[in-house]
């Protein structure tokens, strides 16, 4: 074994082998893989190994289609060929119109990634899959590239090619501990001796938290037992003359693919089990859990009913193995939060299909800092303090029980709720709040007229439409109050705070005490990293002059990592997270100044406290920090209150607002209003795939301000004509919003992708944002939106159709 290396990848399943291979593909060849046993001794060896293009968003589709292209290349490689049945085709079944509508949306979304799905009816399903009956079937989604691969051969081939490029693989070598040094490098302690590494990668499958503990972290990953069986030959398959397509069934929760001349059928039973929660025996390697077909009888009956030939087949082999899950079903691939030079590729529940793509995107992140796709949907930092293994196990069970039932827009499932709350959570619930979950926080979406009020999950506008309209009207015509919890807030103190921030932000930094500005931070490649509200708090009894760096709730770990990584030892700057300590009460509407004046001493006139100001005060009798900023486009105040005082501040505002008819409003009303204002959401419309010019944020860039992170790359990009531009769109349809990921078409070509969509209740318009080819971005350009299979006209309009001159927030 070497004594030092650039990257030590720990774990030799598909995750580790793919990472190692792709590191060499990206040009890093001084890299090693360390495996405690033989390659593929974890989950990988017994995987059903289905490989599909299907994903819930474009990043997942993109990385899965990378897997497919890579696996085809490996299959065709004469030096180390891999058994890969590519192109058997696969059907996801549906028995509700809502599921079919979802499939049409996914087909629209995947088209933008160059992937074609077909939505087919029940008869066509049966024509393509001769074993299935059409009872209780509406149709399905067809992915012609579906198939399955030999998992052991795949991993061996990846390791073979990585070795040939210079990588080394150490088998029968268990990592026993990790030591990180003051220069952020590591010593990896193993049963065969130590190896120093600049960077370590945790790819340890279900042993993820054994290696996590060696780094002092706990990853939100839990394992579930998962069973399949393989049948004897089935005569109808032997006689079919072609391979059977794969089948995935959200009606009865099973999958089936051809294995030799029989079927391999896997089950997602309701009576499912977590695995390894109390520790894993060190001897569990190349091993399985005891099988228990009794548990899957309910699901099995559904599979028999769909494929009567299955009921006649003998069972040859049963497999029950652990499979890792995360909180939202997507894996954790990227930097480990709070750590330097440490990455993970863990929580893979469909690792054979996805692993090629995940290893690709991880290697890009390790070598270049960023990947070619925005990787937020798989970023380990998207879960923060609430993300315990216990919480993950509850979400894992829920996810397993719903394996093939995708989330509808605005569908928030019940497991592990109330993870993060404020003193107002029960108060707003009593007022009828219907809540979503934002980074674990319970946040009101809208207020229900009656406790039994429910919305129907689907892709059209739902029953909350009129309620949201009334909330928006209350804000526009009078005054409204909303709670925005979990907003990320980092206090930046110290004399060097402004010079530190100035080199991280691409525009003019607001530094005046008492003033607020909006800033954008770029990657070294000149692409958008994050967005921050910079509020300069004046010196007061509460503290010296300092900055509050405010950003999206989900950005809590992401932004803290970015700031700390860029802090030089010579800078006198202190960073402190206030995210869990403070909550925003958002007071908005033309009468908001009157309400604030009635409960907070001081002159709140536009002369004394103009737009984009910050001031400390008391609301009622409790301390608060008020900023005159507006995401709604109305005159508005963000009132930041310590959680201990939140209820008192809320009570004071409600009392002061009562004479003005103050109404509560929720996140859907805010969404509607921000779309009318041209305001963007981080990781919906602000993505690392685009620079600030493409995103329509040129006014926040000042190229001549001096050096800043990303400046050189951005200057280079500015010399070339942009390929894409973000635009506002008017959607000529009033039945459904444009859904993120949906394709915009010019005849038969995809020319753009939706990032956000909502009804603008003040303008009475169906609005959307999208990135489109620059040639299609002129105001007035017409195109067609593939809205769940329906072609709907869309027109490029100017940003901010409501109060474009920003007169209202200036008051």
Ligand X SMILES: Cc1cc2nc3c(=O)[nH]c(=O)nc-3n(C[C@H](O)[C@H](O)[C@H](O)COP(=O)(O)OP(=O)(O)OC[C@H]3O[C@@H](n4cnc5c(N)ncnc54)[C@H](O)[C@@H]3O)c2cc1C
Query: For residues 264 and 573, which CB has a smaller minimum distance to ligand X in the complex?
Result: 264
Query: For residues 19 and 724, which CB has a smaller minimum distance to ligand X in the complex?
Result: 19
Least Å distance, CB 317 to ligand X, is: 11
Q: Is residue 161 involved in binding ligand X (CB under 6 A)?
A: no
Q: Which two tokens stand for residue 7?
A: 């990257």
Single out the residue of 5, 50, 341, 688 in contact with ligand X (rule: CB under 6 A).
50
Single out the residue of 7, 21, 36, 391 in contact with ligand X (rule: CB under 6 A).
36
Least Å distance, CB 96 to ligand X, is: 25
Report the alpha-carbon distance of residue 730 to residue 781 in Å, rounded: 11
Single out the residue of 19, 25, 47, 99 in contact with ligand X (rule: CB under 6 A).
47
Report the alpha-carbon distance of residue 464 to residue 254 in Å, rounded: 34
CA angle 371, 373, 379 (to 5 degrees): 70
Instruction: State residue 373 phi and psi, 5-degree precision.
Output: -105, 155
Single out the residue of 7, 9, 14, 552 in contact with ligand X (rule: CB under 6 A).
14
| Strand segments (E) across 494-543 | 516-522, 528-537
Query: For residues 211 and 767, which CB has a smaller minimum distance to ligand X in the complex?
Result: 211
Secondary structure class of 523 (helix, strand, coil): coil
Contacts of 287 (CB under 8 A, 6+ apart): none
Instruction: State residue 381 phi and psi, 5-degree precision.
Output: -85, 0
Helices first, then strands: H and E counts in the chain = 19, 39
Sign of the alpha-carbon torsion through 439, 736, 786, 788: positive
Least Å distance, CB 87 to ligand X, is: 16
CA distances from 107 to 54, 330, 461 (A): 9, 20, 20
Query: For residues 250 and 507, which CB has a smaller minimum distance to ligand X in the complex?
Result: 250
Residues 239-268 touching ligand X, rule: CB under 6 A, are: 266
Number of residues that bind ligand X (CB under 6 A): 43
Query: For residues 41 and 781, which CB has a smaller minimum distance to ligand X in the complex?
Result: 41
Least Å distance, CB 705 to ligand X, is: 45
Least Å distance, CB 35 to ligand X, is: 5
Single out the residue of 8, 31, 34, 586 in contact with ligand X (rule: CB under 6 A).
34
713, with CB counted inside 10 A (0-12, 13-18, 19+), is middle
> Of 151, 281, 154, whose CA–CA distance to 206 is shortest?
281
Least Å distance, CB 321 to ligand X, is: 3
Element (H, E) at 765: strand 765-773
Least Å distance, CB 1 to ligand X, is: 13
- Report, in this order, helix, strand and coil percent for the chain, each rounded to 5: 30, 30, 40
Query: For residues 291 and 733, which CB has a smaller minimum distance to ligand X in the complex?
Result: 291
Closest-CB residue for ligand X? 42
Residues 163-182 touching ligand X, rule: CB under 6 A, are: 174-175
Task: Give the bridge partners for 325, in sequence order.
Answer: 222
Residues 266-285 touching ligand X, rule: CB under 6 A, are: 266, 285
**From residue 205 to residue 224, what is the string marking binding to ligand X with x (rule CB under 6 A)?**
xxx--xx-------------
Sign of the alpha-carbon torsion through 530, 536, 542, 543: positive
Query: For residues 34 and 670, which CB has a smaller minimum distance to ligand X in the complex?
Result: 34
Stretch that binds ligand X, among 41-49, 398-406, 510-518, 768-776 (CB under 6 A): 41-49
Contacts of 441 (CB under 8 A, 6+ apart): 419, 420, 421, 422, 485, 486, 553
Query: For residues 34 and 195, which CB has a smaller minimum distance to ligand X in the complex?
Result: 34
Query: For residues 152 and 251, which CB has a smaller minimum distance to ligand X in the complex?
Result: 152
Q: Is residue 35 involved in binding ligand X (CB under 6 A)?
A: yes
647, with CB counted inside 10 A (0-12, 13-18, 19+), is middle
Instruction: State residue 522 phi and psi, 5-degree precision.
Output: -115, 160
Report the alpha-carbon distance of residue 83 to residue 62 in Å, rounded: 23
> Of 740, 737, 722, whose CA–CA distance to 777 is shortest?
722
Q: Is residue 228 involved in binding ligand X (CB under 6 A)?
A: yes
Query: For residues 38 and 581, which CB has a smaller minimum distance to ligand X in the complex?
Result: 38
Single out the residue of 61, 93, 100, 204 in contact with ligand X (rule: CB under 6 A).
204
Q: Is residue 64 involved in binding ligand X (CB under 6 A)?
A: no
Query: For residues 210 and 445, which CB has a smaller minimum distance to ligand X in the complex?
Result: 210
Secondary structure class of 317 (helix, strand, coil): strand
Pairing of strands 342-346, 193-202: parallel
Least Å distance, CB 419 to ligand X, is: 25
Q: Is residue 352 involved in binding ligand X (CB under 6 A)?
A: yes
Contacts of 804 (CB under 8 A, 6+ apart): 798
With beta carbons less than 8 A apart as the criterion, state whether 660 and 595 touch: yes
Q: Is residue 348 involved in binding ligand X (CB under 6 A)?
A: yes
CA distances from 667 to 285, 433, 443, 471, 593 (A): 48, 10, 7, 10, 21
Q: Which two tokens stand for residue 592?
A: 């908001």
Query: For residues 32 and 687, which CB has a smaller minimum distance to ligand X in the complex?
Result: 32
Secondary structure class of 602 (helix, strand, coil): coil
Query: For residues 357 and 760, which CB has a smaller minimum distance to ligand X in the complex?
Result: 357
Instruction: Please write down the HEC assignment for all residues of 432-456.
Output: CEEEEEECCEEEEEEECCCCCCCCC
Residues 451-480 touching ligand X, rule: CB under 6 A, are: none
Residues 625-684 touching ligand X, rule: CB under 6 A, are: none
Least Å distance, CB 113 to ligand X, is: 18
Query: For residues 99 and 324, which CB has a smaller minimum distance to ligand X in the complex?
Result: 324
Stretch that binds ligand X, among 101-109, 343-351, 598-606, 797-805 (CB under 6 A): 343-351
Query: For residues 33 and 472, which CB has a smaller minimum distance to ligand X in the complex?
Result: 33
Q: Is residue 49 involved in binding ligand X (CB under 6 A)?
A: yes
With beta carbons less than 8 A apart as the criterion, state whether 303 and 310 touch: yes
Q: Is residue 41 involved in binding ligand X (CB under 6 A)?
A: yes
Stretch that binds ligand X, among 13-21, 472-480, 577-585, 775-783 (CB under 6 A): 13-21
Residues 302-331 touching ligand X, rule: CB under 6 A, are: 319, 321-323
Single out the residue of 7, 10, 416, 552 in contact with ligand X (rule: CB under 6 A).
10
Single out the residue of 7, 31, 32, 48 in contact with ligand X (rule: CB under 6 A).
48
Task: Give the bridge partners for 62, in sequence order.
Answer: none
With beta carbons less than 8 A apart as the criterion, state whether 82 and 157 touch: yes
> Of 433, 460, 9, 434, whose CA–CA distance to 200 is shortest?
9
Q: Which two tokens stand for residue 758?
A: 């909502």
Query: For residues 257 and 593, which CB has a smaller minimum distance to ligand X in the complex?
Result: 257
Single out the residue of 5, 43, 536, 551 in contact with ligand X (rule: CB under 6 A).
43
Q: Is residue 42 involved in binding ligand X (CB under 6 A)?
A: yes
* Interacting residues toward ligand X by CB under 6 A: 10-16, 34-37, 41-44, 46-50, 174-175, 203-207, 210-211, 226, 228, 266, 285, 319, 321-323, 348-353
């Amino acid at each position: 074994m070497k004594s030092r290396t650039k990257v030590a990848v720990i774990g030799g399943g598909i995750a580790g082998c793919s990472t190692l291979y792709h590191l060499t593909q990206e040009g890093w060849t001084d890299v090693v893989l360390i495996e405690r046993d033989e390659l593929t001794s974890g989950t990988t060896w017994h995987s059903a190994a289905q490989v599909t293009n299907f994903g819930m968003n474009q990043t997942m589709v993109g990385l899965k289609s990378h897997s497919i292209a890579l696996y085809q290349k490996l299959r065709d490689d004469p030096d180390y060929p891999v058994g890969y049945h590519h192109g058997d085709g696969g059907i996801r079944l549906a028995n509700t119109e809502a599921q079919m509508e979802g499939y049409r949306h996914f087909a629209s979304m995947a088209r933008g990634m160059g992937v074609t799905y077909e939505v087919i009816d029940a008869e066509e399903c049966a024509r393509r899959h001769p074993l299935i009956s059409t009872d209780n079937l509406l149709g399905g989604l067809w992915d012609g590239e579906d198939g399955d691969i030999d998992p052991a051969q795949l991993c061996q081939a990846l390791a073979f090619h990585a070795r040939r490029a210079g990588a080394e693989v150490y088998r029968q070598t268990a990592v026993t501990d990790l030591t990180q040094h003051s220069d952020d490098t590591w010593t990896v302690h193993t049963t065969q001796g130590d190896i120093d590494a600049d960077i370590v990668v945790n790819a340890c499958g279900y042993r993820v938290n054994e290696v996590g503990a060696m780094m002092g972290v706990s990853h939100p990953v839990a394992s579930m037992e998962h069973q399949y069986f393989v049948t004897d030959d089935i005569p109808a398959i032997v006689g079919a003359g072609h391979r059977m397509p794969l089948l995935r069934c959200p009606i009865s929760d099973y999958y089936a693919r051809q294995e030799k001349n029989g079927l391999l059928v896997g089950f997602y039973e309701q009576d499912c089990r977590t695995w390894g929660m109390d520790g894993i025996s060190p001897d569990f390697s190349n091993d399985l859990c005891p099988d228990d077909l009794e548990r899957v009888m309910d699901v099995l009956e559904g599979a028999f009913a769909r494929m009567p030939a299955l009921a006649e087949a003998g069972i040859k082999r049963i497999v029950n193995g652990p499979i890792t899950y995360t909180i939202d079903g997507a894996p954790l691939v990227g930097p480990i939060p709070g750590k330097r030079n440490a990455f993970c590729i863990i929580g893979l529940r469909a690792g054979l299909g996805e692993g090629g793509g995940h290893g690709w995107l991880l290697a890009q992140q390790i070598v270049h800092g960023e990947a070619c796709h925005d990787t937020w949907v798989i970023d380990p930092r998207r879960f923060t303090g609430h993300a315990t293994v216990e919480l993950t196990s509850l979400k894992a069970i829920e996810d397993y029980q719903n394996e093939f039932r995708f989330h509808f827009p605005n569908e928030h499932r019940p497991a592990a709720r109330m993870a993060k709350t404020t003193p107002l959570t029960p108060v707003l619930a009593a007022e009828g709040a219907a809540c979503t979950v934002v980074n674990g926080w319970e946040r009101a979406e809208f207020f229900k007229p009656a406790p039994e009020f429910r919305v129907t999950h689907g892709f059209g506008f739902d029953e909350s439409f009129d309620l949201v309209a009334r909330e928006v009207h209350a804000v526009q015509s009078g005054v409204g109050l909303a709670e925005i919890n979990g907003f990320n807030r980092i206090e930046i103190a110290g004399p060097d705070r402004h010079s530190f921030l100035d080199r991280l932000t691409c525009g003019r930094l607001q530094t005046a005490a008492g003033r607020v500005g909006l800033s954008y931070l770029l990657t070294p490649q000149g692409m958008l990293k994050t967005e921050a509200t910079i509020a300069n708090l004046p010196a007061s009894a509460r503290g010296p002059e300092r900055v509050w760096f405010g950003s999206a709730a989900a950005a809590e770990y992401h932004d803290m990592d970015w700031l700390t990584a860029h802090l030089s030892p010579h800078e006198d700057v202190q960073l402190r997270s206030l995210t869990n300590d403070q909550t925003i009460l958002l007071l908005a509407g033309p009468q908001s100044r009157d309400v604030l004046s009635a409960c907070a001493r001081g002159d709140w006139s536009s002369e004394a406290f103009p737009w984009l100001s910050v001031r400390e005060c008391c609301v009622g009798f409790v301390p608060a920090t008020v900023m005159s900023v507006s995401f709604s486009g109305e005159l508005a105040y963000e009132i930041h209150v310590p959680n201990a005082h939140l209820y008192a501040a809320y009570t004071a505002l409600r009392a002061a607002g009562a004479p003005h008819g103050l109404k509560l409003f929720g996140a859907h009303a805010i969404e509607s209003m921000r779309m009318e204002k041209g305001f963007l959401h981080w990781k919906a419309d602000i993505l690392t795939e685009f620079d600030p010019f493409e995103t329509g944020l040129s006014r926040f860039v000042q190229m001549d301000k001096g050096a800043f992170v990303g400046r050189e790359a951005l200057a280079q990009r500015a010399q070339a004509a942009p390929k894409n531009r973000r635009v506002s769109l008017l959607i000529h349809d009033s039945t459904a919003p444009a859904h993120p990921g949906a394709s915009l078409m010019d005849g038969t070509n995809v020319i753009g992708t939706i990032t956000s969509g909502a009804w603008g209740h003040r303008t009475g318009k169906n609005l959307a944002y999208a990135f489109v080819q620059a040639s299609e971005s002129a105001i007035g350009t017409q195109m067609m939106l593939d809205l769940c299979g329906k072609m709907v006209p869309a027109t490029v309009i100017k940003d901010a159709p409501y109060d474009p001159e920003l007169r209202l927030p200036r008051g």
